Amino acid sequence: MILDSNFVEKMNFYGKNGIKFLFIVDFEMKFPIIMELSEVKDFCVKYFIDGVNNYTGYADNISDKHELKIQKNPVQFEVYKKAFNNVIKHEKAGNSYLVNLTFKSPVEINLGLQEIFYKSRSKYKLYFKNSSREFVLFSPETFINITGGKIFTYPIKGTIDAGIPDAKEILLNDKKERAEHLTVVDLLRNDLNIVCKDVKVNRFCFIETVKTNFGELLQMTSEIEGRIKPELNTRFGDILCGMLPAGSICGAPKRETLEIIKETEPESRGYYTGVFGIYDGEVFKSSVMIRFIEKTGKDYFYRSGGGITVYSDIKKEYDEMTEKIYVPIY
């Protein structure tokens, strides 16, 4: 995958000249979008990025009276099993040791995507609509934040229902989950080393709570820091190009794993598991585009998945994919 050179150079130019911008990059990096923040008002784009947004309160046509109703219709287990077994085959052959396997599942919801955007609560949110696509996302995952010549990234790997007795201890002591998390941390350390010096893990395997309409989930997170190489300072396009796609939603080793994903998943991901973010003239913030609902015609689809290793239990992985079908409206 190669990110469009015009997109990269435009982002570099904006960074060098302190021009504020918004960007959205799809997983396959075929349709990247970048625009000055002053232009965003002319497009059907709403964002909330770690406290920064381009709207005030609710839109006039958004009612606060409707409670969310969502019916999950996860992809059939046999379909998932076929893909899961193909991933395991590649991993046993040594082609990969972690693959993030995802599917889109039909859902029935009683709210429109823009209404979901306004009502949901998440660190990162995005609503996007044009002539060919409409989607909303409410992601808990930071990709990279850049400030003061340093990059910080916060990979998430490992999720459990918080309602399970001793859920935190179970998650922290699950050998498969910790190994998966360590793999992603190591991958992100390597990615940061492409554009940084003095890469270090500040915090490893700490637990965060995510609220959903179905209850709470616990997720395992780490914080990794690096100091940007002097020649790349403010060259955000080159930095982003060197790190995409995000390691937490593909696997390791990255190049080989991307081929396995392309072979195994039934269709391209599009903007799901891509990256979006803003530069406000001083700080660059971005997020991985997970917890994602898209509208096709009159139908709605929720995309979700999880990391697969040779130690994965297929039933647990299928259940995790289903548990991640939620909306943080509570």
- 3 state DSSP class of 76: coil
Stretches where the chain sits below pLDDT 70 are 42, 57-66
For residue 194, give the amino acid letter. I
Residue 66's pLDDT is 65
Superfamily of domain covering 5-322: Anthranilate synthase (3.60.120.10)
Count H helices and E strands in the chain, helices first.
Answer: 8, 18
> pLDDT of 242-280, one tens digit each?
999 999 999 999 999 999 999 999 999 999 999 999 999
CA distances from 302 to 14, 202, 262 (A): 34, 33, 19
Residue with tokens 């709210």, as numbered in its chain? 111
Question: Distance (Å, rounded) from C-alpha 26 to C-alpha 289?
Answer: 9
- Token couple for 211: 């609220």
- Token couple for 47: 């964002």
Model pTM? 0.92
Residue with tokens 């910790």, as numbered in its chain? 178
For residue 24, give the amino acid letter. I
The answer, yes or no, to whether the previous bond of 253 is cis (omega within 30 of 0) is yes
Residue 65's pLDDT is 53
Bin 251: left if φ > 0, else alpha if -120 < ψ < 50, else beta: left
- Token couple for 151: 């990059």
- Token couple for 54: 């381009």
Question: Distance (Å, rounded) from C-alpha 178 to C-alpha 160?
Answer: 13
> pLDDT of 294-312, one tens digit each?
999 999 999 999 999 999 9
The values of phi and psi at residue 208, to 5°, are -120, 150
| Residue from 157, 241, 259, 261 nearest 205 by CA | 157
